[in-house]
Structure 1
Amino acid sequence: MTTSVDVLVSICVIFAMSFVPASFVIFLIQERVSKAKHLQFISGVKPVIYWLANFVWDMCNYIVPATLVIIIFICFQQKSYVSSSNLPVLALLLFLYGWSITPLMYPASFVFKIPSTAYVVLTSMNLFIGINGSVATFVLELFTNNQKLNNINDILKSVFLIFPHFCLGRGLIDMVKNQAMADALERFGENRFVSPLSWDLVGRNLFAMAVEGVVFFLITVLIQYRFFIKPRPVYAKLPPVNDEDEDVTRERQRIISGGGQSDILEIKELTKIYRMKRKPAVDRICVGIPPGERILNPQCLEPEAKLWYPPRFGTDMLWWYYIKCFGLLGVNGAGKSSTFKMLTGDTDVTGGEAFLKGNSILSNIQEVHQNMGYCPQFDAVNELLTGREHLEFFALLRGVPEKEVCKVGEWAIRKLGLVKYGEKYAGNYSGGNRRKLSTAIALIGGPPVVFLDEPTTGMDPKARRFLWNCALSVIKEGRSVVLTSHSMEECEALCTRMAIMVNGRFRCLGSVQHLKNRFGDGYTIVVRIAGANPDLKPVEEFFGHAFPGSVLKEKHRNMLQYQLPSSPSSLSRIFSILSQNKKRLHIEDYSVSQTTLDQVFVNFAKDQSDDDHTKDLSLHKNQTVVDIAILNSFLQDEKVKESCV
């Protein structure tokens, strides 16, 4: 009866110790899903160091409940566990169980996306393997007369040694049986006590767990390095590249012929095909991004690369900046974030290659990380750290001298306008402040290339403008910036060169003005007629004769909006005709504007095959309306009106 109770106690220990190691993956999954782990790798943390630090910290946490278990046994003086011979074995069993089970839980952090689900599944697996394996082999030992069952039991006890749960449970049961047998035979004057550390008793369980801890840790590190994932050749499956725009084709030929070796970022035939997907997410894109420069003579600039800064953007008005900011546009599912994930090493490359400052993303990813800053699409922040702690932590990872860490953190806080929130926990930040913090982290260390994946998503217009000025000041320092965005206004304000991505491929490439000239629908003319209720028919007849091919887009009480093709009409002719007939048609005022970048984008994005593109297009069409509505609601305040006047 005493032996049965002690065996039940062993099962209870297995039950209790199944919950502790399963909890270690919760934070790991949160870091992986939020990209905080990937951001640490980009900042200089090596995968071995990352997992070793997690293992040491988890073992420190595991020792606390393991010590409490030992103290409880000592308090109740269970001889089967706390005798002079059994207590060291109990301590070894509990310690080596944590040593082996902790790294066994780590691979689950690569599979699950929801921490609570992982915790429940891992706990259930620990309970099932530990309790069922130990009890099953113990019950089979009761059939001493059946040699066949005994042979099966010996095989199971050897096979189950690969599970730390079984090693712990079976080790406790064997230790209890050994003590009970010795106590029973001691009454007859015989000393049959066997050392629990012997190989046939608990020794092999201890040895198995000691080896498993090292093996499971190595497996985790190999998974992190994608040792078990082999890239698949895809070029034989993909159709040849046809029907490309001439600008995209010209850039492809330049990159393939070796003309992009002087670029700070060279992307050559980069391809990504996800598993269980027929179409590639990124389809053999080629582009080169030159390094940023700061020069005095504007005559040295290429015509399409000029970007003239008004005085409000900087105090040094004598300088002209040759700015390198590349924008990547596309609706959801176009392949923008997949491109960034490959360039930053977050996902494996299916085909092609990319070089950042001469270092390959396939063979020298750590050198690539040293030359880049990255703001992911979703904020990779730890909710339990303050903004200042985030910046100082990543400054240390970037190799900033310890004496300068506080200064760098203060600089980043002031740079991104987080002075009021620097000492608050990031979990309490608004969406806009989180984006600012993510951008500040990307700028730490002064990387020559900064990747910004939709940096202003969720920001109000004021915060968005502030972040634009921040990005402009960074670009002026000579760094190259690559950003993705859904805001056409943002691309016009920041980008000197941009590409619109549809179904994983570049549909057009060039400066903002170049794209408007080539792919725009012409000009938009807005005419307002004088009078309360004017007759608009003469104006409509005039436009039909004077501007063939014009299309009436909107018509209000005294306002007409026409769309003109750019080929037959020039700006000088449009202004000349309107000026000559202004008095005759009672035109109060008129305006002529070129096709917006939004319209160019929408025309290309219609071909996107993703299911969410319709929703995305409506967002672009209504963006200006939303901004105006926000401004109108803001101006309703009487104090604001008085201040504006």
Structure 2
Amino acid sequence: NVKITFRVLAPSPSSPRFKALFTEMEDRQEELGIASFGISITTMEEVFIRVSQSNNQILQTLKNEDESEDTNQNMNVPRNFERSYASSNLNERSNITLNTGWALYSQQFFAMFMKRAMFSWRNWNLILLQILALLGIFYFLMSDVELSIGEEDLDREMDLEQYGQTIVPFSISGNSEFTTNFVKNLEILLKAKKQKLHEVKGDLKTYLVDSQKCIYSCIIAFSIEVNGNENTVNFWFNDEAYHSSPLSLAVLDNVIFMSLSGPDASITVVNKPQPVRSASSGPKYSMMTGTQIALNLYFGVSILVSGFCLLTVNERVTKAKHIQFLSGVYALNFWLSALLWDFLIFFISCCLLLVVFTFSDLKILVTGYRLLDTLFIFMVFGWAVIPFMYLISFLFSSHTSAYAKLVIFNYCAGIFGAVADVTISSIQGEEAASKSLLLNAMMVLPIHNFGMSISRHYDIQHTKFACTSKEKVSSVMNCSKAVTERSIYTLEYDAVGRYLLAMAVTGLLFLLLIFLLETTLWKVKTFVFRYILFGIFKKSNKDRVSKELSGESEDEDVQNERNRILDNPQESLNSIVLIKELIKVYFSKPVVLAVRNISVAIQKQECFGLLGLNGAGKTTTFEILTGEEVASSGDVFVERLSITKNILKVRSKIGYCPQFDALLDYMTAREIMIMYARLWGIPETKINNYVKKSMEALNLESYADKYIYTYSGGNKRRLSTAIALMGKPSVIFLDEPSTGMDPVARRLLWNAVTQTRESGKAIIITSHSMEECDALCTKLAIMVKGKFVCLGSPQHLKNKFGNVYILKVKINIDENKDKLEHFKTFVETAFPGSELKDENRGIINYYVPSKNNSWGKMFGILEKAKEEFNLEDYSISQITLEQVFLTFAGSQNPEVEKKE
């Protein structure tokens, strides 16, 4: 029951015969089964294509002069050459039998795995930078930074002069010979060092705290209390000065020594650090704790593991993931292949990190069987953290923002967990039991469990080493058999087992949550939006909803289509896509009714066009049809399957070219098309030929092996369309497919789309190009404010709403300037109601009423006028689809609506 639309090119020299042709067509219209017909003139785009084709043929002729005979035959290229070329390629690939079962499953897994591998290979510098950051940061933090200074410069004399001129306050309580000598010798000592001595009357502590001058100038101070024959000296020091404590003691010792041995006596106090032992002198096990190692690991590990979200977020935001799911990929294949590749990258990084361990005094963790224990901890951590990064990536809409924020989140979570563990472990009694709930809650975070595992592992191995070494670290260390033979995998608080178990369990839970999101999130969204939010909306807006559902004030064709859908069972409609009373409400402020009760049935071999201004609801409708958005009411059926109830099955029957290219820029056209061919299940032996034919159909061969990020906007649209046409979808959605294309490329795309439609598929297209819709669509609707205002074939809409013909005439007025005025009078007489639209140097443009003016009549009158007025040229055509569109689009109110 599909209405066939076809076009006939009529040569302009045959215009004298048009009167008879159109008169007979009009007389026999019902007999011939013609619903409507019209006339349009050749566009400049068609002229451009013909000239380009002619020039290409001339160049080919010059290139093959020796084969003149063959070349002359090829010069007469048929008009439908591009269409024949595209058709042959698309026909050749339509008979392929797709893989199913395990063959399809393994093929999809391989395609998804190779996609990840290509991302890492093409972004090797990013992967390498992350690994080097892990290794470099950890090695730097674990190393002892040695300054290249002479050994004599390492000595530091305890002298006030290193702080400049300071004030030394002192107070004396009582008098004695000792206090007199003490103050005298202190004054001699400080005067030699160019320091100021200041006696404090009253409480010395109050002075030190309250005096503004002292806060910045006092490093040391003294107080002397005399109690009978007993003298007590207290020394004070400012702990903000690093060496103030030994310095104050050194000054006190010098003053006392001077009191005993004379003013020339002195003691020199020097701080001399112990020599740093080289690596060959043995690892410094006793100088390090497990918590320190964990803290040093956190930042580098955060940089590495956060990178696993980059491709995941980018694919979701650009809709590349959605296109892959529409191409039939199983959620299990998508995520497990990603997990396998990322785990491989993580494993290589960990092996390199273990090598760094041997150079960072951590041989205790990589010697003998302990190497396997350490590696096992890393692998369990990878099992938990990679799915966790996938899961948490759903919260972000930018891959760069996601990466930066996840690095900070992981690092802070690790630091917080370590600090909390050290703090709580020092608390005793019932308070510790309540606060340990915090640590148990943090065991859901893989980075915390990893840090605790490494920390506990090191502490246990360090204790074993200390107990079995010749030089015990402490004489009070517990070196019982239970300690030296203890397993690290027990579930005790200070062992590794509980953290490994937590990572193993949470890793599985994270994966299950991801699969749950992919498979049941649609049902949850459907329940919330359809039955809760829209239910509340209906109750609070009964009159508005009733009016929308009634379809009042709709166009006759729109109403008839709705009645046909509602009054007939779905089986009798014979439709491949059925949109039934579709409503979409966005519950924002204010509430936006984006799609308002639209209904249409689309059959096989139909191309349905959806037209409208930005904000009319086209993109929202497309998002519902392709499973990106949930309808608030109504339903969409694809091959009788409800998109609301069977979203997973419906997805596998859809091809989709989104408005913005959902492409993986790091791949080439050939690579991405091979990937999608595998997702659809094209047999491996036929993939290369299949991809070749697909690219030839849209003239992409010359770009096949170039990276997609180098493509122009038009070439990306061609590639997106080629992907949408792959496989065996029942319906193909094209959202502005020809944007940015040159006229020749656009015609090639049109031919491919037309051939796909003729092969038995349904096409749904939205475009801002009225010419494109006129060329491709067998049925179209114009949307205004979320509802259909007209529905039918392009020719039907032009006949119904185009009540004028467009007459263009060119008159040679050089000889007789009155001829033009005579012709104007003739037109106004022959076609009453005609309106002169514009006039320019002998070219006049009239709008002629179509009422009472048939095509045969008009051509008969104009042919006579051509001879009578010696017209140089004329054309008569129907109103364009764009003019019909503007008639309706002008009524759209630019209120706040859902952005497209």
Return the match for 2:753 from 471, 480, 490.
Answer: 471
Which position in structure 1 is the counterpart of 2:600?
A: 287
The letter of the residue matching 1:7 is T
Query: Does the 8 Å contact 1:108/1:118 carry over to 2?
Result: no
State the distance in 1 between where 2:570 and 2:435 align. 66
Does the aligned pair in 2 maintain the 1:47–1:221 contact within 8 Å? yes
Identical aligned residues as a percent:
38
Q: Matched residues in 2 for 1:219 and 1:349: separation?
A: 24
For residues 867 and 699 of structure 2, the distance between their equivalents in structure 1, rounded to whole angstroms, comes to 52
Using the TM superposition, name which of 206-215 and 194-203 deviates more. Answer: 194-203
1:91-170 mapped onto 2 (5 Å cutoff) = 91-142=375-426, 144=427, 147=429, 150-170=432-452
Residues 1:258 and 2:568 aligned together: yes
Give the total of aligned pairs: 582
Give the CA deviation at 1:508: 1.0
> TM-score, length-normalised on structure 2?
0.60
Runs of 4+ in 1 over 6 A off after TM superposition: 579-586
> Paired residue for 2:243?
none
Residues 1:508 and 2:790 aligned together: yes
Contact 1:395 1:444 in 2 (8 A): yes
CA separation in 2, counterparts of 1:434 and 1:189? 70
Shift of 1:283: 2.4
Alignment deviations for residues 474-523 of structure 1 (CA, whole Å, 9 cap, x no partner) = 23323332222221111222222111122222111111111001112412
Match of 1:638 in 2: none
- Is 1:265–1:288's contact at 8 Å kept on the other side of the alignment? yes
TM score, norm. by length of structure 1: 0.82
1:231/1:350 contact within 8 Å kept: no
Distance (Å, rounded) in 2 between the aligned partners of 1:362 and 1:490? 31
2:889 is matched with 605
Note the 1:425-504 alignment, pairs <5 A: 425-504=707-786
Distance 1:205 1:565, change over 3 A: same
TM superposition shift of 1:405: 1.9
**Cα contact 1:137–1:153 (8 A) shared by 2:** no
Alpha carbons 2:576, 2:638 under 8 Å: kept: yes
TM-superposed CA distance for 1:111, in Å, is 3.3
Alignment partner of 1:444: what SS? coil
Structure 1 residue 89: Cα displacement = 4.2
Aligned residue number for residue 479 of structure 2? 191
| AA of the residue aligned to 2:617 | G
The answer as to whether partners of 1:272 and 1:281 remain within 8 angstroms in 2 is: yes
Gaps in structure 2 of 5+ consecutive residues: 1-284, 467-471
- Equivalent of 2:519 in 225, 244, 250: 225
Name the SS for the 1:473 alignment partner: helix
User: Secondary structure of 1:508's partner?
Assistant: strand
Determine the structure 2 residue equivalent to 1:7: 291
Change (3 A) 1:540 1:189: closer
SS at match of 1:105: helix
Q: Is the 8 A contact 2:286 2:473 kept in 1?
A: no
**Is 1:371 aligned with 2:684?**
no
* Stretch deviating more after TM superposition (403-412 or 160-169): 403-412
Which residue is 2:698 aligned to? 416
SS of the counterpart of 2:597?
A: strand
Secondary structure of 2:649 counterpart: helix
Secondary structure of 1:162 counterpart: coil
Q: Following TM superposition, by how much is the alpha carbon of 1:457 offset from its aligned partner in structure 2, in angstroms? A: 1.3
2:607 touches 2:764 (CA, 8 Å); kept in 1?
A: yes
The Cα offsets for residues 249-276 of structure 1, whole Å up to 9 and x where unpaired, read as: 1111111223543212212122333452
State which of 45, 57, 61 in structure 1 corresponds to 2:345. Answer: 61
Over 3 Å counting, the alpha-carbon distance change for 1:607 and 1:287 in structure 2 is: same
1:400 aligns with 2:682: yes
When residues 76 and 591 of structure 1 are mapped into structure 2, their CA distance, relative to the original with a 3 A threshold, is closer
CA contact (8 A) 1:498 1:510 kept: yes
Letter in 1 for 2:374: L
**Cα RMSD for the two superposed structures:** 3.1
Q: Give the drift of 1:39.
A: 1.7
Q: Distance in 1 between matches of 2:419 and 2:364?
A: 18
TM-superposed deviation, 1:30: 1.9
SS of the residue 1:232 aligns to: helix
What one-letter code is carried by the residue in structure 1 that aligns with 2:475? Answer: R
2:311 — aligned with what? 27
Tell me how far 1:426 sits from its aligned partner: 2.8
Distance in 2 of aligned mates of 1:582 and 1:402: 64
Q: 2:63 matched to which residue of 1?
A: none
Q: What does residue 66 of structure 2 align with?
A: none
Cα contact 2:325–2:652 (8 A) shared by 1: no
What is the alpha-carbon distance in structure 2 between the residues aligned to residue 384 and residue 580 of structure 1?
A: 64
Instruction: Give the C-alpha shift of residue 55 in structure 1.
Output: 1.3
Q: What's the offset of the Cα at 1:85?
A: 7.4
Distance apart, 1:570 and its partner CA: 4.7
Residue 371 to residue 176, structure 1, CA distance change in 2 (3 Å) = closer
State the shift of 1:357 in Å: 1.8
1:385 to 653, 661, 667: 667
Residue 380 of structure 1 aligns with an amino acid whose one-letter code is A
- Report the residue type matching 2:529 in the other structure: R
**1-structure distance, mates of 2:520, 2:835:** 57
Q: How does 1:350-365 map to 2 (within 5 A)?
A: 350-365=632-647
Q: Write out per-residue CA displacement over residues 293-337 of structure 1, whole angstroms, 9 at most, x where no aligned residue.
A: xxxxxxxxxxxxxxxxxxxxxxxxxxxxxxx22222223333333
2:876 partner SS: strand
Indicate the structure (1 or 2) with the bigger Cα radius of gyration: 2
CA distance in 1, matches of 2:369, 2:295: 21
Contact map agreement 1:63 1:95 (CA 8 A) in 2: yes
Paired residues of 1:534 and 1:558 also in contact (CA < 8 A): no
Checking the alignment, whether the CA contact within 8 Å between 1:92 and 1:206 is kept in structure 2 is no
- Among residues 235, 242, 245, which one is paired with 2:552 in the alignment? 242
Deviates more, 1:529-538 or 1:453-462: 529-538
CA distance in structure 2 between the aligned counterparts of 1:68 and 1:149, rounded to whole angstroms: 42
Q: Give yes or no for the alignment of 1:272 onto 2:574.
A: no
Instruction: Choose the corresponding residue for 1:215, options 509, 512, 524.
Output: 509
SS of the residue corresponding to residue 518 of structure 1 reads helix
> Could you say what secondary structure the match of 2:847 adopts?
strand
What SS is found at the alignment partner of 1:9?
Answer: helix
**AA at the equivalent of 1:203:** G
**1-structure distance, mates of 2:836, 2:520:** 58
Cα distance change on mapping 1:157 and 1:86 into 2, 3 Å: farther
Q: Give the distance between the partners of 1:62 and 1:579, measured in 2 at CA.
A: 81
How far 1:120 sits from its partner (Å)?
A: 0.5
Instruction: Find the residue that maps to 1:24 and give its secondary structure.
Output: helix
Q: Partners of 1:190 and 1:451 in 2: how far apart?
A: 73
Report how far residue 540 of structure 1 moved. 5.6
Higher RCO (CA 8 Å, separation ≥ 6 residues): 2
Contact 1:332 1:610 in 2 (8 A): no
**1:3 touches 1:176 (CA, 8 Å); kept in 2?**
no
8 Å contact from structure 2 (residues 290, 457) kept in 1: no
Q: Measure, in 1, the Cα distance between the counterparts of 2:316 and 2:783.
A: 27
Q: Which secondary structure does the structure 1 equivalent of 2:489 belong to?
A: coil
Shift of 1:451: 2.3
Q: Secondary structure at the match of 1:433?
A: helix
Q: Secondary structure at the match of 1:11?
A: helix
| Letter matched to residue 489 of structure 2 | L
1:555-570 equivalence runs, <5 A: 555-567=839-851, 569-570=853-854
State the one-letter code of the partner of 1:208: A
User: For residues 83-138 of structure 1, what are the alpha-carbon distances to aligned partners after superposition, in whole Å with 9 as ceiling and x for unaligned?
Assistant: 66754443333222221111111134333232111101111111111112212331
CA contact (8 A) 1:3 1:180 kept: no
